[in-house]
Amino acid sequence: MNALRVRAVVRRIVAQFRRDPRTLALLFVAPLGIIALLGWVLSSSGASTARVAIVNESGNPAGAVVVTKLTDALKNLPKIVVDADVHDAATARQMLIDKQLDLVISLPKDFSLQSRKIELKTLGLNPTGEATVIPSIQQALVGAVVSEGGGALPTIERSTVYGSPDATTLDTLAPVVVGFFVYFFVFILTGISFLRERIGGTLERLLATPVSRAEIVLGYSLGFGFFATLQIALVLAFVLGRLEIPALGPVPAFAIGLGVRTVGNPLIAYLLVLVLGLGAVSLGIFLSTFARTEFQILQFIPIVIVPQGLLGGFFWPIDQLPSLLQPVARILPVTYAIDGLRQVMIAGADLASGQVLFDLAVLTGIAAIFVGLAAGTIRREVA
C-alpha cells in the first residue's frame, strides 16, 4: 500500500468531478429537490381541515364530561372541525368510509376515570396523511382527561377502519430517505466511473503501473467517500435543519429544510450512512464488470436498488414481510442502515446501543465483502 498512489487516485477522482458540473448537481441538488418535494407534499396534506367526531359509547357521566371538555379543547385548535351531530359508533364508522369524517375519537363502553382508554379511529387508506392531525388531537385529549381525572395520563389506542395504524410521517421517513439517497447515487456514480475505466482503456493502463488493486479500491472509496460525505452532510442538514424565510414582496414566506426532529446524534447517523456508502462504492466497481455500457449500469437500478427500497424497511417493517422475503431483507445493506438510522434519529440511540452497534457491524461486514468482490474483479494477473 503506497499512500502517494492512493492520493493520486483520490485527486484524480476529485478533479474529474470538478470538470463535470452536471454530475455534481446530480449529487447535491437532486436529493435536496426530491426531499423538499417530499416534505412539501407531506406538510400540505396536513394543511387540510380534519373533520372529527366524538363518540361516547360508555354512556357514563365521567365520559360525558370528558367529551364536553374535549369538544371545547378541539374547537380551539386550528384545522380541526368537530361534528357534534354524530353520537353512535356505527354512524361514525360509515361516515369515515364515506369520507365525511376524517377521525373518530371514541370512548369505549368500559371507559371510566380509572381505565382511561380512548380510541382514535381513522380510515387507514392513507396512514401518512391521516396521521398528521393526530399529535394535536392527542394533546387536546390529554388536556381534557387530565384536567378531569387529575394526574394519570389516558391510554390512547390508535385503530383504523382499514389496514394498520402504523402511520408513517415525515419523521419516520426522513432517516430512510437519507440512507437511500446516498446508496443510490454513490452506486450509480461509481458504477459508471469504473465502467468508463474499463471500456476507455484507462484501467488497462492503470494496471500496467505499480498500483495495486487494493490501492485502486481504497482510492475510489476515499474519492467517492469525500463526495458522499459532502452529500450526507448537506442532506442531513436539510432534513434536520429549518430556516424560515419571511415573506418578501410578492414572494410568500417559505422555509428551507424540513426541521425533522432527531433525538439522536447526527454524527452517528452520518457514520451509518458513510459505511453504507463505502459499500456502495465497491458494489459499483464490482457490478461494472457485468455492464458494457452506461445504459447497462442503469439497468441495475431495478435489480439492485428498487428491491432494497421495497424490502429494506422503507414501507413495511421487516417483521411484517412475508416469511420468505424476510431472510432476503436481512442480507440487504439498506435494511441495516434504515434500522440504525431509525434507532438513532427516532429512538435517540447512541453508540452504547447494542442495536446500533450491530447495524454498524453488519454494514461494515457487507462493505468488506463488496470490497473483496470489487478487488477480485479488477483483473491483473499480479498478486
Partner 1 sequence: MSSPGTPPAAAVSSGEPTPPASPAVEAVALHKDFGPIHAVDGIDLSLPAGRIYGMLGPNGSGKTTLIRLLTGLASPSSGTARVLGVDMPSRANLARIGYMTQADGIYPELSVWENLSFFAALYGQRDRAEMIRALELVELDGRLGTPAVDLSGGMRRRLSMACALAHRPTVLFLDEPTVGVDPALRVQFWDHFHRLAADGATLMVSSHVMDEADRCDELLFMRDGRILAQGTPATLRARAGTDNLETAFLHFAALSASTPATAGSAEEAAP
Q: Which residues lie near partner 1 (CB under 8 A)?
A: 2, 4-5, 7-9, 11-12, 15-16, 19-20, 200-202, 204-212, 380-383
| Residues in the chain, overall count | 383
Distance in Å, CB of 298 to partner 1, minimum: 20
Task: Tell me whether residue 11 or residue 79 sits nearer to partner 1 (CB atom).
Answer: 11
Distance in Å, CB of 228 to partner 1, minimum: 19
Distance in Å, CB of 234 to partner 1, minimum: 23
Sequence-distant (6+) residues with CB within 8 A of 124 are: 130, 160, 161, 162, 163, 164, 165
Distance in Å, CB of 4 to partner 1, minimum: 6
Is 282 within 8 Å of 295 (Cβ atoms)?
no
Q: What would the grid cell of residue 242 be?
A: 429549518
**Which among 367, 345, 366 is positioned nearest to 356, based on CA atoms?**
345
Task: Tell me whether residue 207 or residue 260 sits nearer to partner 1 (CB atom).
Answer: 207
Task: Tell me whether residue 8 or residue 161 sits nearer to partner 1 (CB atom).
Answer: 8
Q: Among all chains, which residue has been given the C-alpha cell 364508522? A: 93
Distance in Å, CB of 205 to partner 1, minimum: 4
Task: Tell me whether residue 5 or residue 158 sits nearer to partner 1 (CB atom).
Answer: 5
State the burial class of residue 105 (Cβ atoms within 10 Å of its Cβ: 0-12, 13-18, 19+). Answer: buried
Distance in Å, CB of 369 to partner 1, minimum: 24
Is 66 within 8 Å of 144 (Cβ atoms)?
yes
**Which among 186, 167, 126 is positioned nearest to 334, based on CA atoms?**
186
What does the alpha-carbon distance between residue 330 and residue 322 come to, in Å, rounded to a whole number?
13
Task: Tell me whether residue 21 or residue 61 sits nearer to partner 1 (CB atom).
Answer: 21
Distance in Å, CB of 199 to partner 1, minimum: 9
Task: Tell me whether residue 205 or residue 242 sits nearer to partner 1 (CB atom).
Answer: 205
What does the alpha-carbon distance between residue 63 and residue 322 come to, in Å, rounded to a whole number?
41
Is 220 within 8 Å of 227 (Cβ atoms)?
no
Q: What would the grid cell of residue 249 be?
A: 414582496
Task: Tell me whether residue 204 or residue 244 sits nearer to partner 1 (CB atom).
Answer: 204
